[in-house]
Chain A
Amino acid sequence: MNHLDKLEAQSVHILREAYREFKNICMLWSIGKDSTVLLWLARKAFFGHVPIPLVHIDTHFKIPEMIKYRDELALKWKLTMVYGENTEALAQKNTFPDGKVDRITCCQSLKSNALKNTLSGEWNRYVMDHKTGKYVLDTNREQYTGVIVGVRADEEGSRSKERYFSPRDKENDWDVGDQPPEFWNQFKTDFAPGTHIRIHPLLDWTELNIWEYIERENIPITSLYFDQGNGKRYRSLGCYPCTAPVDSSAKNVSEIIEELKSGKFANIAERSGRAQDKDDGGGLETLRRGGYM
């Protein structure tokens, strides 16, 4: 087995554990490369099926191509596709692009808060009707107790501390100082009522592994990651006001791999185009403690 085979086997094992142990489980899909690889791994784990609903948090500031790509794939792969949002904050324009709050507050409101209330079932969820391709109100309002997320340990400091099965308390808070032990592929799958568990099958993958795997498996990926002819591409996807493309002429997966291995990005952090990470000393950690992915 080469290193990709090993990573794949471990991720599949984790997905199967999660699926068996959690009755109400979902998978967060941000439309980015990592969670799309995660979705592919679910098809691996369940032999072509995806028996787990996918949840997307729509901030309404996503790059439009992302939403189009999401819905195309949901139809093609017969996914149970669910989205949630912070309707109130959007209506009152309490957002960074509207100039009312700073970046971190905006993330907390449109992402963390929307995520928390979507997972708990307190706010409306919308599910795709495959007959029409349109979204309708989801009648299932049960709390998701298992939430599969595509975070990687190499993305930044706080994620390097994560567990494969990482508990969140009633407030969605992550207690980084007191995490469950995890060894011999035995995970924390027992949880108190009201709490939930985040599951991280991609923890051991690096950015390079993700691209190598996309290439090997030929996974359809949004074109935003490739140079569209203007010498710019996205290395990491988020909301358009807070995500800057990077200067790069990589037009396909193998050129991206080349760039990461020996080219211009061999030593530059992946999230360098994400503004919210820079706004305070440990911006992403502040966000993650409050339930951000």
Chain B
Amino acid sequence: MDNREQMNIVIVGHVDHGKSTVIGRLLADTDSLPEGKLESVKEFCKKNSRPFEYAFLLDALKDEQSQGITIDTARCFFKTSKRDYIIIDAPGHIEFLKNMVTGASRAEAALLVIDAKEGIKENSKRHGHIVSMLGIKQVVVLVNKMDLVNFDKDVFNNIQAEFTEFLSKINIKPLNFIPISAFNGDNVAEKSKNTFWYEGPTVLEQLDSFINKKENYQLPFRMPVQDIYKFTEGNDDRRIVAGTILSGTIKTGDEVLFLPSQKRSTINSIEGFNVEPRDTAFADEAIGFTLTTQIYIKPGELMVKVNENQPVISSRFRVNIFWVGKAPLVKNKNYKLKIGTMKIGVKLVDILNIIDAAELNIDSFKDQVERHDVAECILETSKPIAFDPISDIEFTGRFVIVDNYEISGGGIILEGVSDSNNTLIEQIKDREYLWEKGLITSRDREEIYGHKSKFVVITTGSEENEEIIRDIGKYLENRLFKMNYKSYYLGVSSLLHGLASNNVSDFEARENQIRQIGELARIFTDAGQIFITSVFNLDDYEANKLKLLNQPHEILIVNIGDSPFNSFKPDANISIEGATKKAVDSVCDLLKQKEIIVDYYI
């Protein structure tokens, strides 16, 4: 098998500036067309009495042929002596911006086509902007249709000067400008005599001079956890953490950390199917590991090495985004953010400025981000997430936003911002301010009921104890009730437990339930009750959230067995060997110590 290099190139630019003709030409001039293709297109042209054009080679779809525009990214394959290319034809119409982004995001380099006669147009600029955001560093500008301006050097130079200035504003330094006529073939595969004043490479030579993406072995190790597998078929007892390595290298024995949960373990083995056993894995590999310890981690976490530079963990960050959604991006609406393999609730907190992509005017007065806008904003996720600022590691600083089932925008994280005034605290302040009380105080209730109110949360970090914590909650309610204490148990739906909680998509359900439990606790504790719930694998952020939501009343968090917490300190850690009664006794003792309930007799 030969090991020819492959490269993805995207071709962008304003509609009708000749992108498809450039591609058609490249395919034809490098003998990369399958025989059937050229025949069928020529046949089609004859049937419809149209002159044959190179552009038609790509317009394989009927409605494209009727409209004469590229509505989606078409991929074509061609070869030079140096390497194999996939050339992606991105549409120039603004309505199809999301298709252009789709095509461009797969490319190592971009050819930006400008019509010499029409000059720089809105989408020449907009595409330049998005190419920059997508992280494509190698950009070449093809000044096409030079035959229509008599191969005039001045026309070419003016476009070059004007466009270079624009591109420098958005951090793009084009490698080159090439004067071409794709229709006649000037400077595509062959040097043209018509542009005797141009000394640079042809388009093909330029393509071959591009440098392919380097593997990112030198950067710190990053791998979003895609899934945890335990297939029992054929007595397979491996528990495999699977994912695609974005950067760096890893080997067996390396100590690793999962973020944001902060759980630690060590790589025990690197797994694979139909491959030689090995102990090292590299960036870009889709891989699986077993760990030396059985820690409970979820898909969506970011796996990093303990002894390397750590990512940022924050729930607020400053971002650049482009928006392609049908509805605008607005404040105070719940969206879904996808970053790596993590999915999480996100809100637009603030718009710093909106850049009109075409003109680069800065507009700081719009209060929503509209379709095809590019904007700088502050976002807030419902829990802190792990990421790297785009300037450090680009792969872990990119995200998309989902609105109503659709990916509606994408962006890059510039930096984390401090979480001092998060929206939950603001909301609770408002809630408390508006809370209308009756004539009875908490003190009155305590005297009549003979005990204080409390919100008791029972949790565990080990899967074996999932059932047990529910039982403890119920028995505790029962015990307190029989002693004439006002107690109430409310379980969290078992949907969120066990394997089902491995489904990243359930994050919304869990978030809502934590929120509901917290709000209910606020009411129950205000009503003088001892309100009890059991939540499997409560994390630091959720514990703090429950504490906040239950304010001004008190919370008691009890952990049974392995702790799910990283930095949060529960009020008690009770070790049990499956003895529910012992745990109930311990919680009752704790309530007594805290003077919630008075002495009791069993």
Which residues from chain B contact A184 at a C-beta distance below 8 Å?
Answer: 105, 398, 400, 410
CA distance A3 to B34 in the complex (A): 22
Q: Pick the interface stretch among A85-93, A106-114, A149-157, A241-249.
A: A149-157
A-side contacts of B50, CB under 8 Å: none
Give the docked Cα–Cα distance between A21 and B62 (Å).
33
Taking A160-B74, A161-B73, A186-B400 as contacts, is the C-beta distance between A47 and B286 under 8 angstroms?
no
Are B60 and A180 touching (Cβ within 8 A)? Answer: no
Name the distance in Å between B16's Cβ and chain A's nearest Cβ: 18
**Minimal beta-carbon separation of B90 from chain A (angstroms):** 12
Cβ–Cβ < 8 Å partners of B402 in chain A: 190
Q: A152 to nearest B CB, angstroms?
A: 10
Are A160 and B76 touching (Cβ within 8 A)? Answer: yes
Q: Which residue of B lies closest to A51 (CB)?
A: B231
Complex CA–CA separation, A4 to B336 (angstroms): 34
Closest CB in chain B relative to A30 CB, distance in Å: 21
Chain B residues with Cβ below 8 Å from A158 are 60-61
Indicate if the CB atoms of A176 and B63 lie closer than 8 Å.
Answer: yes
Q: Which B residues touch A215, using CB under 8 A?
A: 1
| Pair B400/A183 contact, Cβ less than 8 Å | yes
In the complex, the answer to whether B231 meets A46 with C-beta atoms within 8 Å is yes
Query: Cβ of A204: which chain B residues have Cβ within 8 Å of it?
Result: 86
- Kindly supply a per-residue 1/0 record for chain B positions 449-476, scoring 1 wherever the CB is within 8 Å of any chain A CB and 0 otherwise: 0000000000000000000000000000
B36 an interface residue at 8 Å Cβ cutoff? yes
Of A221-229, A230-238, A267-275, which stretch is located at the interface? Answer: A267-275
Which residues on the A side are within 8 Å of B44 (C-beta)? Answer: 281
A252 within 8 A of B: no
| A182 with B102, Cβ < 8 A, contacts A16-B242, A269-B36 known | yes
Pairwise interchain contact A181-B102, C-beta atoms closer than 8 A: yes
Q: B1: which of A4, A12, A189, A190 is its contact (CB, 8 Å)?
A: A4
| With contact pairs A183-B410, A217-B274, A267-B35 given, residues A20 and B398 touching in the complex (Cβ less than 8 Å) | no
In the complex, B301 has a CB within 8 A of chain A: no
Q: Does B505 count as interface, using CB distance less than 8 angstroms? A: yes
**In chain B, residues 24-67, which have Cβ atoms closer than 8 Å to a Cβ of chain A?**
31, 33-37, 44, 47, 58, 60-63
Partner of B36, one of A2, A6, A190, A268: A268
- A270 to B77, alpha carbons, bound, how many Å? 14
The reply to whether the CB of B516 lies closer than 8 angstroms to some CB of chain A is no
- Residues 1 to 58 of chain A near chain B (Cβ within 8 Å): 1-6, 8-10, 12-13, 16-17, 19-21, 23, 43-49, 51
Cβ contact within 8 Å between B286 and A13: yes
Please, how many angstroms separate the alpha-carbon atoms of A177 and B282 in the complex?
Answer: 38
- A61 at the B interface (CB under 8 A): no
CA of A225 to CA of B104, assembled, Å = 36
Instruction: List residues of chain B with CB within 8 A of the CB of A13.
Output: 226, 244, 286
Segment at the A interface, from B232-240, B345-353, B553-561? B232-240
A129 interface residue per 8 A CB criterion: no
Of the 9-residue stretches B3-11, B170-178, B420-428, B518-526, which lies at the interface with chain A? B3-11
- Asked if B72 lies at the interface with its beta carbon under 8 angstroms from chain A, I say yes
B285 proximity list for chain A (CB < 8 A): 1, 5, 9
Contact yes or no, B407 A182, CB < 8 A: yes
What mask results when residues 112 to 152 of chain B are scored 1 for a CB within 8 Å of chain A, else 0?
Answer: 00000000000000000000001000000000000000000
Are B61 and A157 within 8 A (Cβ)? Answer: yes
With A161-B72, A268-B34, A282-B60 already in contact, the answer to whether A47 and B231 are too (CB < 8 A) is yes
Whether A268 and B35, one on each chain, are in contact in the complex, defined by CB atoms closer than 8 angstroms, is yes
- Chain A residues near B398 (CB, 8 Å)? 184
Known: A45-B286, A47-B271, A217-B274. A183 touches B76 (CB 8 A): no
Q: Does B233 contact A183, Cβ atoms closer than 8 Å?
A: no
A206 to B34: give the CA distance in the assembly, Å: 13
Are the CB atoms of B231 and A181 closer together than 8 Å? no
B-contacting residues, A67-106, CB 8 Å: 78
CB-based contact A47/B284 at 8 Å:
no
Asked if A47 and B229 sit within 8 Å, CB to CB, the answer is yes
- Cα A259 to Cα B73 in complex, Å, equals 30
Contacts A176-B71, A180-B98, A267-B35 given; 10 further ones with Cβ under 8 A? A3-B6, A153-B75, A160-B75, A177-B63, A179-B99, A183-B102, A185-B244, A206-B77, A267-B34, A281-B47
CB closest chain-B residue, reference A165: B407
Q: A47 vs B272: C-alpha distance in the bound complex, in angstroms?
A: 6
B288 at the interface (CB under 8 A from A): yes
CB of A49 within 8 A of CB of B1, answer no
B284 touches A282 (CB 8 A): no
* Contact call B73/A3, Cβ cutoff below 8 A: no
| CB pair B75 A9 closer than 8 Å | no
Q: With the chains together, A46 CA to B238 CA distance in Å?
A: 11
Say whether A169 faces chain B, with CB atoms less than 8 Å apart: no
A269 CB to closest chain B CB (Å) equals 3
Judged by a CB distance under 8 angstroms, whether B324 is at the interface is yes
- Pairs across A and B, CB under 8 Å, 11 listed: A5-B285, A6-B284, A9-B284, A20-B503, A45-B286, A156-B60, A176-B63, A177-B72, A190-B336, A190-B505, A281-B44
